[in-house]
Amino acid sequence: MIFGEVPLDRAEGVILAHTMVLETGKLIKGRRLGLADVAILRAAGLPRVTGCTVEPGDLDENEAARTVAQALAGDGLQLGPASTGRCNLFARHHGLLAIDAGRIGRLNRVDEAVTAATAVPWTVVTPGQRIATVKIIPFAVDSATVHACVAAAGKAAIRVHPFRSRPVGMILTALPGTTDTALDATVAVTRQRVEGLGSRLEPELRCPHQPDALERSIRQALDGGCEILLISGALVTTDRCDMVPAAIVRAGGTIVHFGMPVEPGNMLLLARIGPVPVLVLPSCARAEALNGLDLVLRRIMADLPTSGRDIMELGVGGLLD
């Protein structure tokens, strides 16, 4: 691409660099000048115009933006039309946004002419939401630069993992003096959280804060068909051998991970009973505010692998309040 002032006798086909307001009307930045445009400029007494000339091997800004956006778009994304050197990517589903930040960084380091910006990774997105944009800075860019950007980013660096609707069981344990009002409030917040991810809270069970009673309730919830089980203990679990995880193990479960580098939410415990993930809620999960439960529950609802290592890697950005 050649950028600069061009005499009017060579201006046909030049891409206009700046919007020009003339007595006869307006010529918009980015317009490819035709013979009629050149005549208008000549009638206005202008000897030359500032713009760019696309050379062999160049891609215009829209084609370049579309090419890069197509490479970035993985499952759950759709492209908007390319215009003024910009191509947006939109979510197809209600789900969790996954972005390979390293690959986006490599793309942006190839050349200043090509840029890609995204929404925050691991956020909940809705259908039609813009979650990334590719912008070409000049009016055209060498095709080799575009191909280098595509190679640096690889394929499908951005994906939306849709949430899958399923029954989510909940067990609340109670001590003498625990009020139904307090339990009802916890259920209401949890139902809002679960339904916000496209699932439903069922069954909901309550039992004394005792190992035998909790073990029976766990088996009852599993028999009821829940695919995820949430347990809100009257006392916060403080050790892998505490009452709630011990009851999970007695019911045939395995403790996957205890604790997480997220605040609020440090005391979350993840277990499994067969294929069913079991989450022992930290006390902060009784409130609506974003906490560690949300980060883990979103992954599970989107059918993403959720291991102890995955939880351990949540520390960067894990200070939520």
2-53 and 58-162 have identical folds: no
CB-based burial label for 309 (10 Å; 0-12, 13-18, 19+): exposed
The structure's pTM equals: 0.90
Q: Which of 3.90.1170.30, 3.30.479.10, 3.40.50.12780, 3.30.70.20 would CATH assign to domain 58-162?
A: 3.90.1170.30
Q: Per-residue pLDDT for 55 more than 90?
A: no
Contact 156, 75 (CB under 8 A): yes
Tokens (6 digits) for 207: 């039992």
CATH architecture of 2-53: Alpha-Beta Complex (3.90)
Return all residues near 288 (Cβ < 8 A) that are at least 6 apart: 189, 192, 193
| Cβ atoms < 10 Å from Cβ of 208 | 15
Average pLDDT, the chain: 96
- Helix 211-223 × helix 243-250 angle, to 10°: 50
Query: Tens digits of per-residue pLDDT, 240-250?
Result: 999 999 999 99
pLDDT in the model for residue 24: 83
Strands 254-258 and 269-273, by their bridges, are: antiparallel
Cα distance between residue 259 and residue 268, in whole Å: 5
Query: Which percentage of the chain shows pLDDT scores above 90?
Result: 92
Q: Is 180 exposed, middle or buried (0-12, 13-18, 19+ CB in 10 A)?
A: exposed
Token output for 264:
């609020």
Pairing of strands 158-162, 130-136: unpaired
The closest of 237, 217, 232, 205 to 287, measured between CA atoms, is: 232
Residue with tokens 């030049």: 14
How far is the C-alpha of 93 from the C-alpha of 163, rounded, in Å?
A: 8
Domain boundaries of the chain, sorted by first residue: 2-53, 58-162, 167-312
pLDDT for 1 beyond 80: no
- What would the pLDDT profile of 4-41 be if each residue is shown by its tens digit? 899 999 999 999 989 999 888 899 998 899 999 999 99
Q: Which CATH class is domain 167-312?
A: alpha beta
